[in-house]
């Protein structure tokens, strides 16, 4: 089981009970967000979801944060949504379910997709339902050997939420996505890697170290160039050629105003290793 980054990072003391359910620390420019309800396989509550969304927004706005790692404690990465802590809404009326999805699961996934810093999922165990989609929304996915991914919705007679029907076809194509969603079979980490849902599988005891190494490489890189690249790639499958070309040109225009771009060019000319500052 991977050790917690809290063991080696600096964090602010807090008396808020929620801070024990979503651990947070920053280490060398990397924001570590750790779901911490191992007894519930990290099924995410309403409060936890809001905390994760807030931390991702903070990472976007904080120039000292240059990469994010999203992980969990125990045997589960995230077993899905735990709605028991959701605010009471009274009797259901038409539109309530759609509103709940828009303001809940979809906001969580959008927070990952829209984060201006690269987000790594370090999947330490079972990722089911919204938990699987939370991982797939990340820019890079590392998985422990023991990790499993389950499109659990069909087992409950439900339609997938948390943007699964948006994410999976873009990652592995519509036929593979339908196979996972129609049958709800448990997908082993190595098979997820073969399909293209996972970038790298690591032994359980090496997952945190691997995530730390990848995150540090990102944190040492040109932050704004990586953010603009993320935006281009995420938008590419929804764009026609003219729109994609225009977005690429604009991203280049914006990036060339950064100090890191100037440093990258200067270091090439001077034949030295660049030193990026994230600005």
Span 228-243, pLDDT tens digits: 999 999 999 999 999 9
The answer on 266 and 180 residing in a single domain is no
| pLDDT tens digits, 164-208 | 999 999 999 999 999 999 999 999 999 999 999 999 999 999 999
- Within a domain: 276: no
**Does 70 fall in a domain?**
yes
Under the banding of pLDDT at 50, 70 and 90, the label for residue 8 is very low
Give the tens place of pLDDT for each residue, 58-92: 999 999 999 999 999 999 999 999 877 555 656 77
Cβ-based neighbour number of residue 72 at 10 Å = 31
Q: What is the mean pLDDT of residues 20-43?
A: 96
12 inside domain: no
- Does the pTM of the predicted model rise above 0.85? yes
Residue 7 lies inside a defined structural domain of this protein: no
**Residues 117-131 pLDDT 10s:** 999 999 999 999 999
Across all residues in the chain, what is the average pLDDT? Answer: 92
If you search the block for the tokens 């991702």, which residue do you land on?
A: 56
Residues 236 and 251 in one domain: yes
CA distance 62 to 59: 5
- Structurally, the chain folds into a number of domains equal to 2
Model confidence at 17, pLDDT cuts 50, 70, 90, reads confident
266 and 161 fall within a common domain = no
Q: What is the domain range of residue 183?
A: 17-87+94-220
Based on the fold, state whether residues 34 and 49 are members of the same structural domain: yes
Mean pLDDT across the stretch 142-157?
Answer: 97
What is the predicted pLDDT for the residue at 12? 45
Together in a domain, 212 and 227: no
Residues 194 and 131 in one domain: yes
In the chain, % of residues over pLDDT 90: 85
Please indicate, yes or no, if residue 8 is contained in any of the structural domains. Answer: no
CA distance linking residue 112 with residue 272, whole number of Å: 34
Note whether 131 and 254 are same-domain residues: no
d(CA 166, CA 275): 37
> What was the pLDDT predicted at 185?
97
Are residues 161 and 110 located together in one domain of the fold? yes
Q: Check whether 223 has a pLDDT greater than 50.
A: yes
Query: From residue 86, how far is each of 1, 46, 156 by CA, in Å?
Result: 30, 5, 20
């Amino acid at each position: 089981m991977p050790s917690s980054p809290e063991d080696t990072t600096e964090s602010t003391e807090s008396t808020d009970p929620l801070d024990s359910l979503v651990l947070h620390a920053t280490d060398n420019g990397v924001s570590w967000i750790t779901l911490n309800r191992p007894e519930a396989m990290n099924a995410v509550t309403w409060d936890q979801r809001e905390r994760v969304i807030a931390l991702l927004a903070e990472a976007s706005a904080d120039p000292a944060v240059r990469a994010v790692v999203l992980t969990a404690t125990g045997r589960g990465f995230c077993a899905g949504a735990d709605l028991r802590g959701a605010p009471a809404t009274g009797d259901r009326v038409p539109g309530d379910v759609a509103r709940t999805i828009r303001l809940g699961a979809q906001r969580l996934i959008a927070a990952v997709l829209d984060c201006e810093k690269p987000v790594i999922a370090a999947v330490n165990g079972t990722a089911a339902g919204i938990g699987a989609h939370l991982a797939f929304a990340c820019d890079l996915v590392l998985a422990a050997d023991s990790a499993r991914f389950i499109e659990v919705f069909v087992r409950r007679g439900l339609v997938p939420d948390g943007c699964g029907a948006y994410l999976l076809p873009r990652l592995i194509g519509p036929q593979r996505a339908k196979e996972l969603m129609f049958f709800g079979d448990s997908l082993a980490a190595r098979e997820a890697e073969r399909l293209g849902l996972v970038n790298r599988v690591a032994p359980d005891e090496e997952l945190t170290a691997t995530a730390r190494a990848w995150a540090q490489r990102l944190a040492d890189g040109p932050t704004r160039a990586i953010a603009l690249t993320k935006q281009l790639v995420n938008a590419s499958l929804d764009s026609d050629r003219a729109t994609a070309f225009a977005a690429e040109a604009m991203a280049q225009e914006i990036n060339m105003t950064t100090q890191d771009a100037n440093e990258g060019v200067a270091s090439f000319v001077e034949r030295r290793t660049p030193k990026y500052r994230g600005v």
